[in-house]
Structure 1
Amino acid sequence: MNFADFINTLNKRLSEKPLPGHEEIMRQMSPYRLKVKIEPNENTRRSAVLMMFYPKGEDIFLPLILRPQYDGVHGGQMAFPGGRVELKDKDIQATALREAQEEIGIKATDVKIIKNLTELFIPPSNMFCQPVVGYMASRPDFYPDEREVAGIFEVSISEILDPSIVQVRTVETRGVKLETPCFVIQDQIVWGATALMIAELIEVLR
């Protein structure tokens, strides 16, 4: 499928089909989340990430980032570029675009937004996160912010749809070791909220 056909198909599926959501995916992919009792409260913030497709060679890609190691709940983890809503953002999609521009150096004005996936509550950071799906007509140049991004991984759609990347691994977060279903992509373990977003994307693409 060429890039234009892919984008048209994705647009139709996101417009016509009810989103898969996360409930069943959580039962399959993230049993640990079901044990976390934190609920949204007055301190819950909103954030957004950008799932941005672009053509490269014969395949279609989107970028994942590796967060630097730091003393926080998401330090050293794989993620989509994104972050918290700021007052200057006109809407949640603007948040995703701004954060992606700041973190990986793309031009936000070159990104075309398609739709949003299902918003996800992330208990460890007490955050609602909105995945925003968009695309660029050609591969962008990446200029990662070294303070927020330890590496950029260009991941192809064929990789994401490869069932062999679904594995069970032991991860460590803040000194606690967990055995969890995850995706292993380019030797990186993708788990937690990012894995749930990818799992929903896979259901849409199927």
Structure 2
Amino acid sequence: MSEPTPTGARAQLLALARDNRALPIPGRSPDPSARRSAVLVLFGVLDTVPAATPATPNVAADLDVLLTRRSPDLTHHPGQIAFPGGGIDDDDGGPEDAAVREAVEETGLDPAGVEVLGRLGDLGLPVSDNVVTPVLAWWATPSPLVPDGTETAEVFRVPVADLVDPGNRRTTAITRGSETWRGPAFEVADRVVWGFTAMVLDALLDALGWSEPWDRRREIPVPL
């Protein structure tokens, strides 16, 4: 496959969103009575476009994705890398509105520059008894970012090329009692992306055809 251009990458994201299918992530079927949330998976074009490298010939090397680091003071998932997002309020127009609203609150981005492409299928999360809807979006006009300092400690943009680079891919492992759970992870920008966020990114890159083969035997402990 030839290297996607920004326009081509946006078209791929739009086509995936129009399918409205759930990513193949381990979990359970969404529970209609569970708490509902939405996250914004926001792709944009890097401010400085790097030259393509032989290690990542098929990646959308000029794109990035917006991530946050949750406050260490939060009760749930403190300090973890995440997509911006949160609970869907009664006065939200749906998951898309909730994802953008939460992203604005957490990161300070200008919603006028965000083009919502559509939603993916709901994902049931057994750990938090929550149903999460990933919302795909295109950052048509990037704006300055300022973390709210309450829920979000840091906001940053990760190049897609770094996420796809096999050298940055890992498998996390966590053992509780006699059981061990393993999942995909990324070591990028001096941070470890793991858990739900890493599972979504891993499945999304696969669905888009942007992934490169990587060694799943490179195992690291969960950074708790």
Residues in 2 aligned to 1:85 and 1:126: alpha-carbon distance in whole angstroms = 15
Amino acid at match of 2:204: L
- Whether the 8 Å CA contact 1:144–1:152 is kept in 2: the answer is yes
Structure 1 gaps of 5+ residues are 27-32
**Counterpart in the other structure of 1:99:** 102
**Percent pairwise identity:** 28
Write 1 or 2 for the structure with the bigger share of helix: 1
**Could you say which structure has the greater relative contact order, defined with CA pairs below 8 angstroms and 6 or more residues apart?**
1
- Return the TM-score normalized by structure 1: 0.80
Match of 1:161 among 158, 161, 164: 164
Question: What amino acid maps onto 2:37 in structure 1?
Answer: S
2: distance between equivalents of 1:50 and 1:197?
11
Name the amino acid aligned to 1:55.
V
Cross-structure match for 1:73: 76
TM value normalised by structure 2? 0.74
Q: Which amino acid aligns with 2:188?
A: I
CA apart distance, 1:20: 6.4
Cα separation, partners in 2 of 1:84 and 1:13, compared to 1, 3 Å: closer
Contact 1:93–1:132 (8 Å) recurs in 2: yes
1:93 and 1:69 map into 2 onto residues whose CA distance is 27
Aligned residue for 1:53? 43
Q: Following the alignment from structure 2 to structure 1, what is the Cα–Cα distance between the partners of residues 16 and 87?
A: 28
**Equivalent-residue separation in structure 1 for 2:35 and 2:90 (angstroms):** 12
Q: Could you list the runs of 4 or more consecutive aligned residues of structure 1 that deviate by over 6 angstroms after TM superposition?
A: none
C-alpha separation between the residues in 1 aligned to 2:121 and 2:168? 22
Query: CA-to-partner distance for each residue in 1:84-132, whole Å, 9 max, x for gaps?
Result: 0111201111000100000001122321111222321122221101110
The offset of 1:164, in angstroms, is 2.6
Structure 1 Cα separation of the partners of residues 22 and 125 of structure 2: 18
* Deviation (angstroms), 1:5: 2.5
Displacement of 1:62 after TM fit?
1.3
Matches within 5 A, 1:117-156: 117-156=120-159
SS in 2 for 1:124: coil
Quick one: structure 1 residues 82 and 13, their matched pair in 2 at CA, closer, same or farther if it must change by over 3 Å?
A: closer
Give the count of matched residue pairs.
190
